[in-house]
């Protein structure tokens, strides 16, 4: 409890364990549901705000479901239906399914779907987690007598570290393996469709009289669920840009008719924790094409996570140049690591340059930069993309610099756009007045982290935008920014109103 901060689940488990320990000296057996109710009331007495904590409800619902399954298991054993290892594994699997079913309503509130392999993964992972936790306590206990002996301390530490690293690696392997099995993930819209069907089939098989008696109520409930599913399909039929909130990084998801294209993937952690949940919320299991504007960590690390997770089908990067300016103060160039990973994962890799055009499901993507003559660092050589669909144009500028803006303005390209994705998170040394004059957008989206150390977006950039009556929308203030396009009309919404 001290290590975990006494969360609702830890408090519940600790109190129930204390009550169970008191049963033997008191020579009585407590009803498990009464105990759960009493413990819940006790926790709410000390912290009434726990009522608004999803973890509080999920913890008690899980405990009730496992207790119910445990009672059924005890009845079977009382009838002489005992088994060995196989029966024990089957019971663990059923307990896991019961727990998953109990928290399903709460999971639907915060998750875009369910993973069918989650119960099986929990059967394997939970014992491993218990062993890991117990091993840590044992490790601390065994090291106490040798705290003054550095040689023994180091030897015992190395031994336990080897053991714990092995278990930890196995834990991560299970998580990665389950994540890669995309077909096992069922999006929310299909859950809403198939769950009522499943319940109806079970009732028809087991309770035919019940179905006949309440057929009108069941028909109404099923129609309501079907209406929700149809609403989901209608909402997913539009084309959407999602400028994801990935902190001080860039990640833009383009969704059309159940397919996805991604421009950049944010910094480390955002591939798993931001992009994949966004895909699942759109009921999409894989990305057709990832376009990486340049190979700096705040754009590329999340892309590498997506590649490792097996959700990327093809990858585009800027053309390589042997004359890229490098200095010790600049960010690491991850190009080699990305290309190696793409080769290892069997992902098709393409290099883009000025003049290339991609036609993705009716969306025209024109590459405006870089060309073979352009010199500079990775920021200077960022991909600049003009994306056109249904009469609306979006200009993606990566981490474009002022020098490259001047270089591009000498070309004959049409930079006009309805929406501008502001370069380099609103850096002072980009998005010049001349460039804004050439683009002339109505709206500008700035992907930026809250309270970042760079001072982005710079006040000068905001002033330049406002002078031209361009509305700036910042992800640090508005969260994810949605550009929804339907019937040649675009509407902008934000996650935070």
102-150 pLDDT tens trace: 777 776 666 667 777 777 777 777 777 777 777 777 777 777 776 666 7
Q: Say what the pLDDT of residue 80 is.
A: 54
Enumerate the domain spans of the chain.
1-115, 186-235, 239-494
373 or 465: which carries more pLDDT confidence?
465
What would the pLDDT profile of 177-226 be if each residue is shown by its tens digit? 777 776 777 776 677 667 766 666 666 666 667 666 767 776 777 777 66
Q: What are phi and psi of 27, to 5 degrees?
A: 55, 50
> How far apart (Å, rounded) are the C-alpha atoms in residues 407 and 395?
17
* Confidence grade of residue 66 (pLDDT, cut at 50, 70, 90): confident
> How would DSSP label each residue in 345-365?
HT-EEEEE-TT-EEEETTEEE
Q: Is 78 exposed, middle or buried (0-12, 13-18, 19+ CB in 10 A)?
A: exposed
19 or 201: which carries more pLDDT confidence?
19
Task: Look at phi and psi of residue 401 and say left if phi exceeds 0, alpha if psi is from -120 to 50, else beta.
Answer: beta
Average pLDDT (358-380) is: 91
Considering the four listed CATH numbers 3.40.1280.10, 3.40.30.10, 3.40.1180.10, 3.60.15.10, the one that applies to the domain covering 239-494 is: 3.60.15.10
Cα four-point dihedral sign 319, 457, 394, 314: positive
Q: Say what the pLDDT of residue 38 is.
A: 84
Q: Which two tokens stand for residue 383?
A: 């991909």
Q: Say what the pLDDT of residue 323 is.
A: 58
What percent of the chain clears pLDDT 90, i.e. is strictly above it?
Answer: 42
What would the pLDDT profile of 306-363 be if each residue is shown by its tens digit? 999 889 999 999 998 765 555 454 678 899 999 999 999 999 999 999 999 999 999 9
Flag whether pLDDT at 369 surpasses 80: yes
> How far apart (Å, rounded) are the C-alpha atoms in residues 38 and 36?
5
Cα radius of gyration rounded to whole Å, the chain: 28
Q: Is 305 exposed, middle or buried (0-12, 13-18, 19+ CB in 10 A)?
A: buried
Choice among 11-15, 21-25, 286-290 with the minimum mean pLDDT: 21-25
Flag whether pLDDT at 234 surpasses 60: no
C-alpha 174, offset from chain centre: 18
Mean pLDDT of the chain: 83
Flag whether pLDDT at 463 surpasses 90: yes
Flag whether pLDDT at 83 surpasses 70: no
365 or 14: which carries more pLDDT confidence?
365
Q: Say what the pLDDT of residue 240 is.
A: 92
Peptide bond into 370 cis (omega under 30): yes
Q: Say what the pLDDT of residue 89 is.
A: 67
Q: Say what the pLDDT of residue 102 is.
A: 76
Flag whether pLDDT at 453 surpasses 70: yes
Q: Say what the pLDDT of residue 132 is.
A: 74
The strand pairing partners of 187, in sequence order, are 113
């Amino acid at each position: 409890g001290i290590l975990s901060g006494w969360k609702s689940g830890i408090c519940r488990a600790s109190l129930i364990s204390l009550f169970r320990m008191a049963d033997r000296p008191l020579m009585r057996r407590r009803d498990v549901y009464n105990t759960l109710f009493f413990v819940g009331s006790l926790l709410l007495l000390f912290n009434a705000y726990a009522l608004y904590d999803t973890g509080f409800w999920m913890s008690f619902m899980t405990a009730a479901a496992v207790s119910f399954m445990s009672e059924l298991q005890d009845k079977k054993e009382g009838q002489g239906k005992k088994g060995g290892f196989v029966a024990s594994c089957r019971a663990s699997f059923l307990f896991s399914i019961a727990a998953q079913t109990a928290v399903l309503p709460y999971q639907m509130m915060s998750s875009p779907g369910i993973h069918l392999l989650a119960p099986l993964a929990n059967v394997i992972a939970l014992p491993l987690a218990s062993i890991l936790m117990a091993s840590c306590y044992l490790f601390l206990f065994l090291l106490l007598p040798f705290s003054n002996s550095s040689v023994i301390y180091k030897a015992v530490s190395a031994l336990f570290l080897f053991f714990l690293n092995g278990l930890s690696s196995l834990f991560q392997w299970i998580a990665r393996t389950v994540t890669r099995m995309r077909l096992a993930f069922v999006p929310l819209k299909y859950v809403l469709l198939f769950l009522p069907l499943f319940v109806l089939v079970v009732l028809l098989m087991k309770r035919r009289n019940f179905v006949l008696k309440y057929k009108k109520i069941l028909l109404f409930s099923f129609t309501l669920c079907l209406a929700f599913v149809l609403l989901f399909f209608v909402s997913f039929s539009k084309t959407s840009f999602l400028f994801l909130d990935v902190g001080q990084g860039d990640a833009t998801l383009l969704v059309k008719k159940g397919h996805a294209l991604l421009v950049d993937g944010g910094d480390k952690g955002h591939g798993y924790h931001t992009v994949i949940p966004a895909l699942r919320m759109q009921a999409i299991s894989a990305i057709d094409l990832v376009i990486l504007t340049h190979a700096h960590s705040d754009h590329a690390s999340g892309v590498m996570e997506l590649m490792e997770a097996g959700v990327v089908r093809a990858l585009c990067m800027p053309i390589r140049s042997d004359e890229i300016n490098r200095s010790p103060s600049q960010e690491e160039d991850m190009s080699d690591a990305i290309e190696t990973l793409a080769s290892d994962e069997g992902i098709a890799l393409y290099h883009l340059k000025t003049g290339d055009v991609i036609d993705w499901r009716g969306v025209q993507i024109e590459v405006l930069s870089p060309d073979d003559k352009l010199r500079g660092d990775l920021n200077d050589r960022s991909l600049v993309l003009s994306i056109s669909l249904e009469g609306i144009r979006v200009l993606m500028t990566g981490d474009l610099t002022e020098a490259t803006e001047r270089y591009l303005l000498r070309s004959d390209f049409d930079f006009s756009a309805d929406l501008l994705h502001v370069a380099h998170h609103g850096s002072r040394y980009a998005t010049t007045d001349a460039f804004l004059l050439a683009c002339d957008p109505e709206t500008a989206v700035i992907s930026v982290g809250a309270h970042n150390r760079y001072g982005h977006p710079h006040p000068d950039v905001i002033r330049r935008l406002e002078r031209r009556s361009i509305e700036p929308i910042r992800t640090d203030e508005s969260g994810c920014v949605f550009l929804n396009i339907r019937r040649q009309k675009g509407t902008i919404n934000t996650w935070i109103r």
